[in-house]
Amino acid sequence: MATAALQAIRDSAPAVLPSLLLCDFGDLKGEVAELSAAGARVLHLDVMDGNFVPNLTYGMPIVEGLRRHTDLPLDVHLMITDPLAYAKPMVDAGADMLTFHVEAVRDPVETAGKLRDLGVGVGIALNPETPLASFGDAISMVDMALVMSVEAGFGGQAFNPIALEKLRSLRQDYPDLLLEIDGGIGVDTISLARAAGCDLFVVGSAIFRQDSYLAAIADLNAGIQTAARNESVRGLKREDHS
């Protein structure tokens, strides 16, 4: 059965998820309040271990600190070598969704199963160079697939369109699976990702490097709507030809 938080994540879609990688860690409380006021309905947390990726961010204390400041669902992206070692502490700290990288684990089915047992939402992620086939049977055990549109590790990288093909393929094969994209998402790329069937759009630079979170999220939401409008125009044109 889906937890209330997982249901809230589903209900938020299509949604922009601010990635708390480029935020002001000296003022987490203020950052969360501003993001929430700007319309964020889910927060994305990038956990990096300096081993699976060549960057080091934060762990349970920050998740726990955020949990005290917000009721928004916390979508935790584990860019770490041993996701199972930290899964339970992450859940205890307040994570609502745990996403592991398929490249990090030997047996994705076993990892997905053990994460499921913790009673949180489970996601499976892959980097741009990793083929979709590497998900194997684990894809049918998860609530969400995270398609990276940059190599995991750093904010501010350029969008890799290979992610769009993967999204289209996943959307076709798994109509009900939550699809998330992460990396290089801005006003233009968000619209492409939405058209490819994506539900959740993780955004770092295009929010945190802007003056106003409110304006940035509004612009991104407009980008999502652009895809919907183009889709309905295409639908109308198809009807014209029938």
Task: Identify which of residues 126 and 234 has a Cβ nearer to Zn ion in the complex.
Answer: 126
Could you say whether residue 185 binds ligand DX5 (CB under 6 A)?
yes
Exactly one of 155, 182, 189, 216 binds Zn ion (CB under 5 A); that residue is: 182
Task: Identify which of residues 154 and 174 has a Cβ nearer to ligand DX5 in the complex.
Answer: 154
- Structure tokens that stand for 66 in this block: 């955020």
Exactly one of 75, 180, 182, 199 binds ligand DX5 (CB under 6 A); that residue is: 182
Q: Footprint of Zn ion on residues 37-66 (CB under 5 A)?
A: 46
Q: Which residues of 197-233 are buried (b: 16+ CB within 10 A; e: fewer)?
A: bbbbbbbbbbbbeeeebeebbebbbebbebbeeeeee
* Under 8 Å between Cβ of 177 and 170: yes
Residue tagged active-site, from 46, 49, 75, 143: 46
Could you tell me which of 188, 148, 196, 191 has the C-alpha nearest to residue 172? 196
Strand partners, 99: 77, 123
Could you say whether residue 46 binds ligand DX5 (CB under 6 A)?
yes
- How many Å from the N-terminal Cα to the C-terminal Cα in the chain? 43
For the question of residue 188 being annotated catalytic, the response is no
Could you say whether residue 77 binds Zn ion (CB under 5 A)?
yes
Task: Identify which of residues 198 and 232 has a Cβ nearer to Zn ion in the complex.
Answer: 198
Q: Footprint of ligand DX5 on residues 118-157 (CB under 6 A)?
A: 150, 152-157
- Structure tokens that stand for 110 in this block: 């076993």
Q: Which does 183 bind (CB under 5 to 8 A by kind): Zn ion, ligand DX5, none?
A: ligand DX5
C-alpha span between 131 and 163 (Å, rounded): 10
From the CB of 183, what's the least distance to Zn ion, in Å?
8
Task: Identify which of residues 176 and 211 has a Cβ nearer to ligand DX5 in the complex.
Answer: 211
3-state helix, strand, coil in the chain (%, to 5): 50, 20, 35
Interaction site with ligand DX5 (CB under 6 A): 19, 21, 44, 46, 77, 150, 152-157, 182-185, 202-206
Catalytic residues: 46, 182
